[in-house]
Structure 1
Amino acid sequence: MITTKQLSVAYGDKTIIENLSVSIPKGKVTALIGPNGCGKSTLLKALSRINRIKAGDILLESESITSIKDKQLAQRLSLLPQTVVSPEGITVRKLVEYGRAPYVSHWGRLSTEDKLIVEQAMLETGVAELGDEKIESLSGGQRQRAWIAMILAQDTEVVMLDEPTTYLDLSHQIELMKMMRSMNEQGKTVIVVLHDLNQACRYCDHLIVLNQGQVVSQGAPQQVFTEQLLEEVFNLDAVVINDPVADTPMCIAR
């Protein structure tokens, strides 16, 4: 679905990712995992063209993202950043309507179809009854669901989420992970940055393990999630066992 070729990304004079070549499979949920500062969020922002490429290329279905017009890219690829700020006083419905921006005419008016898509996205994320509420009045979990609804309304083939469970309690984290799986079941390719390794193993089909801007390992959780990997990449002394509920690997620190 997405391939990087000898990709390098830098912040000023500091190179974070250098000469990285990796492929992200189509129709799967892929988690980018690794220690702090390894380049996970940097890679995600480069894939969405927020971070400029220093060298190399990124291909979306064999087409360089540098050659795709902004509006067309926004119809194919969406990103929910780690930190999001909404305009003061904006309602939930208005926020979700922003997801249709890549499709509206230059007049900026939503069509009947656009409005139906917005309502459906709000229903799927459980915020339909909050449509007239202001974003700042919502709880953390409700606010995150509203942003997810906006991403759903954008209706792209690729959805990228940067640490979407940050600041959420455990029940809301699980709720969000299930919504992510639901997106995938609707045919979307999902790429997510996660810190919780056990959640990555339970809810994702494919892991890409990064360290110091390079891919250390990649593949299905059952293949790559080992005690040796945890020790070498995360400096974590842990035992890997089978999750009795999900039948996926999980780690427990010694």
Structure 2
Amino acid sequence: MITTHQLSVSYGKETIIQNLDLEIPEGKITALIGPNGSGKSTLLKTLCRINKGFGGELSVLGKPITSYADKELAKYISLLPQVLTTPEDITVRRLVEYGRSPYLSYWGKLSLEDHQKVDRAIEETHIQDLVDKKVDALSGGQRQRVWIAMVLAQDTPIVMLDEPTTYLDLSHQVELMKLIQKLNASGKTIIVVLHDLNQACRYCDHLVVLKSGEVVTSGSPEEVFTESLLRDVFDLEAVVMPDPVSNKPMCINL
């Protein structure tokens, strides 16, 4: 689905990612995990070309990412960034409608199909009672769900989420992760940055473990999530055991 070869990303003189080879599997939920400063968000923003200044090769659906026009790429990849800037005085519904921007005609009017996709995204994120409210009047958790609805309305085969559970209480975190699984079951490839390692193991099919801008290992949670990995990458002494609900590996901090 997405591949890199010798990918390098720098900010000024500082190299964040260097000579990274990676394959994101199609039709799976891939979690990017690693300690703070490991390059997770930088990698995600590069994979969707928010960061355009990179070296090496980066391909999406078998084509170099540089060959896509911005509007064309936005029909294949949607992104929920970590830092969100809400336009002033905008209603919830209007913000969700922005997700349909890549598909609008020259006149910029939403079609019946556009409205249907917006309605579905609003329903899936359970924000029906918020649609007429101003986004800047909402709580942090409510705003996060509205932005997620906008991403869902974009309806792309690849969905990228940078720490999407930020500002969400525990019940809404679980709700969101189950929604991600539902989107994946409908055929979408999901790439998500997560800090909660147990969430990553429970809900994701594929883990990419980063440290200092390099891929330490990748594979299924059962293959890569070990006590030695936690010790070497996260400086964490923990016991790894089966999750009693999902039977995926989980860790308990010692």
Query: Which category of TM-score, normalised to the shorter sequence, fits these structures?
Result: over 0.9
CA contact (8 A) 1:9 1:52 kept: no
Matched, 1:95 2:99: no
Identity percentage of aligned residues: 64
Code of the aligned partner of 1:248: K
CA contact (8 A) 2:238 2:253 kept: yes
Aligned to 2:106: 106
CA contact (8 A) 2:76 2:158 kept: yes
Aligned to 1:196: 196
| 1:186 Cα deviation from its structure 2 partner | 1.4
Code of the aligned partner of 1:236: L
- Aligned residue runs from structure 1 range 131-210, under 5 A: 131-210=131-210
Question: Partners of 1:6 and 1:213 in 2: how far apart?
Answer: 12
Mark the runs of 5 or more structure 1 residues left unpaired by the alignment: none
Question: Partners of 2:158 and 2:106 in 1: how far apart?
Answer: 24
Question: Partners of 1:53 and 1:250 in 2: how far apart?
Answer: 37
Question: Partners of 2:76 and 2:82 in 1: how far apart?
Answer: 20
Code of the aligned partner of 1:175: E
CA contact (8 A) 1:16 1:213 kept: yes
Q: Deviations over 1:67-113 (max 9, x none)?
A: 10111000000100001111111111000100000000121111111
Aligned to 2:240: 240
Aligned to 2:71: 71
Aligned length: 254
Question: Partners of 2:139 and 2:220 in 1: how far apart?
Answer: 34
Question: Partners of 1:167 and 1:155 in 2: how far apart?
Answer: 24
The DSSP-based 3-state class of the residue aligned with 1:120 is helix
Matched, 1:117 2:117: yes
TM-score by length of 2: 0.98
Question: Partners of 2:167 and 2:149 in 1: how far apart?
Answer: 18
The DSSP-based 3-state class of the residue aligned with 2:75 is helix
The DSSP-based 3-state class of the residue aligned with 1:232 is helix
Moved over 6 A (4+): none
Q: Deviations over 1:141-195 (max 9, x none)?
A: 2221111111111000000000111122211211111111111111100000000
Q: Deviations over 1:17-67 (max 9, x none)?
A: 010010000000000000110110000000111112431011111101111
TM-score by length of 1: 0.98
The DSSP-based 3-state class of the residue aligned with 2:74 is helix
Code of the aligned partner of 1:123: E
| 1:197 Cα deviation from its structure 2 partner | 0.2
The DSSP-based 3-state class of the residue aligned with 1:27 is coil
Aligned to 2:15: 15
| 1:243 Cα deviation from its structure 2 partner | 0.5
Question: Partners of 1:233 and 1:53 in 2: how far apart?
Answer: 27
Code of the aligned partner of 1:194: L
| 1:12 Cα deviation from its structure 2 partner | 1.0
CA contact (8 A) 2:144 2:167 kept: no
Matched, 1:56 2:56: yes
Question: Partners of 2:181 and 2:140 in 1: how far apart?
Answer: 20
Question: Partners of 2:152 and 2:240 in 1: how far apart?
Answer: 35
Mark the runs of 5 or more structure 2 residues left unpaired by the alignment: none
